[in-house]
Amino acid sequence: MVNLDYLDELEAEAIHILREVAGQFEKPALLFSGGKDSITLVRLAEKAFRPGKFPFPLVHIDTGHNFQETIDFRDQMVARIGEKLIVGYVQESIDAGKVVEQKGKNASRNSLQTVTLLDTIEKYGFDACIGGARRDEEKARAKERIFSVRDEFGQWDPKRQRPELWNIYNGRIHKGENVRVFPISNWTELDVWNYIKREKMELPSIYFAHERECITRNGQLMAASPFLNMDHEDIVETKTVRFRTVGDMSCTAAVASEATELDDIIEEISQSKISERGARMDDKVSEAAMEDRKKGGYF
């Protein structure tokens, strides 16, 4: 028995899961956010299926509040790998009156994207959606299966999870249901960064230290942008920052950082005393914020 190095083991497990998705589902999709975790998924999919094509398209739920760097990166990457990209626009859900823009200073489109996601799943008939969520991110995610069955409303029911035994994944569902699949469930934030380094992967520039106009709100550094509701109390300052996690501009906080290289970032995260999702305003609402959103159909 050869003991695999941890990155090899995590990689082999993720590839196995991706190939199970390909084998078990009719119309799977890979949810691509432009963040490092979904970029890692794309790399793993290349390892699982090349020289063949991916047996699924990439799907991006675009809130319209993204960092431009993320969108540019997405388009370049899709061109490089030659795979199909489907974009679901939150703006369309708003225009159709399906969701209403949040009001107030901390308004964000984060929770609105669930509706667009579910509509996109229904429109294309996706039966499995691969996502880059990790169990180390958050305590509700720590409880979720790798194959997580959602009902026809996209809802996660933590009390009715299927037993998931050994490396056998049961992806059988009824019509209308779908499965969220998380191939990097067992990876930590640091594992992802070490893998990015090992694989010499490209990332959107906002992950690296750069100068940016920011305001400080609730103790967090937020990028000044037209998507953020700002008033006279907000003081715009130029800071050297980077983003540790990439979501909407309106709900993703920056961290003050001088880390311009991967090694600096890995060093910074190893020393960090704050968790990755500590920079997500969307998780700060309550102790069960993530659990409640997942029950509603969130990623």
Partner 1 sequence: MNILKFFTAGSVDDGKSTLIGRLLYDTDSILADQLEALQQSNRKNDDGTIDLAILTDGLRAEREQGITIDVAYKYFQTEKRKFIIADTPGHIQYTRNMVTGASTANLAIILVDARNGVVEQTIRHSYLVSLLGIKNIVVCLNKMDMVDYNEEVYLSIIEKYKVLAGKLNIKEVTYIPVSALKGDNIVHASKNMPWYQGESLLHYLEKVEVDGGAKSPYARMPVQWVIRPQTDELHDYRGYAGRILSGSFKVNDKVMVLPSGDHSVIERIEIFDKTPEEAHAGMSVTIHLKDNIDVSRGDMLVNANHVAQHSQLIEADICWMDKRPLDENITYLIQHNSKVTKCRINEIIFKVDINTLEKKEAYDFSLNEIGRVVVKTASVLPFDLYADNKANGSAILIDSRTNLTVAALMFRAVVE
The tally of CA atoms less than 13 A away on the side-chain side of residue 80 is: 12
User: Does 285 participate in binding partner 1 (rule CB under 8 A)?
Assistant: no
Whole-angstrom distance, CA of residue 19 vs CA of residue 45 = 9
* 182 Cβ contact list (under 8 Å, min separation 6): 130, 131, 132, 133, 134, 135, 144, 146, 148
CB of 52 to partner 1, least distance (A): 4
Q: Which of 102, 106, 161, 240 binds partner 1 (CB under 8 A)?
A: 161
Query: Which segment (30-38, 48-56, 113-121, 236-244) binds partner 1 by CB under 8 A?
Result: 48-56
CB atoms within 10 A of CB 220: 18
User: Does 140 participate in binding partner 1 (rule CB under 8 A)?
Assistant: yes
Nearer to partner 1, 197 or 210 (CB): 197
Which string of x and - marks every residue 94-133 that binds partner 1 (by CB under 8 A)?
Answer: ----------------------------------------
Q: Which of 60, 135, 242, 244 binds partner 1 (CB under 8 A)?
A: 135
Q: Are 86 and 265 in contact (CB under 8 A)?
A: no
Roughly how many angstroms between the first and final C-alpha of the chain, as a whole number?
37
Whole-angstrom distance, CA of residue 264 vs CA of residue 290 = 30
User: Does 254 participate in binding partner 1 (rule CB under 8 A)?
Assistant: no
User: Does 9 participate in binding partner 1 (rule CB under 8 A)?
Assistant: yes
Query: Which segment (19-27, 58-66, 95-103, 202-210) binds partner 1 by CB under 8 A?
Result: 19-27
Whole-angstrom distance, CA of residue 126 vs CA of residue 138 = 26
* Residues that contact partner 1, how many (by CB under 8 A): 61
Residue 19 has which token pair?
A: 């190939």
CB of 199 to partner 1, least distance (A): 10
Query: Which segment (7-15, 31-39, 237-245, 252-260) binds partner 1 by CB under 8 A?
Result: 7-15
User: Does 202 participate in binding partner 1 (rule CB under 8 A)?
Assistant: no
Q: Which of 111, 155, 186, 216 binds partner 1 (CB under 8 A)?
A: 186
Pairing of strands 178-181, 85-89: unpaired
Whole-angstrom distance, CA of residue 231 vs CA of residue 3 = 57
* 290 Cβ contact list (under 8 Å, min separation 6): 138, 139, 140, 141, 283, 298
Q: Which residues bind partner 1 (CB under 8 A)?
A: 1-6, 8-13, 15-16, 19-20, 22-23, 46-53, 55, 135-136, 138-143, 158-159, 161-168, 170, 172-174, 185-186, 188, 190, 272-275, 278, 287-288, 291
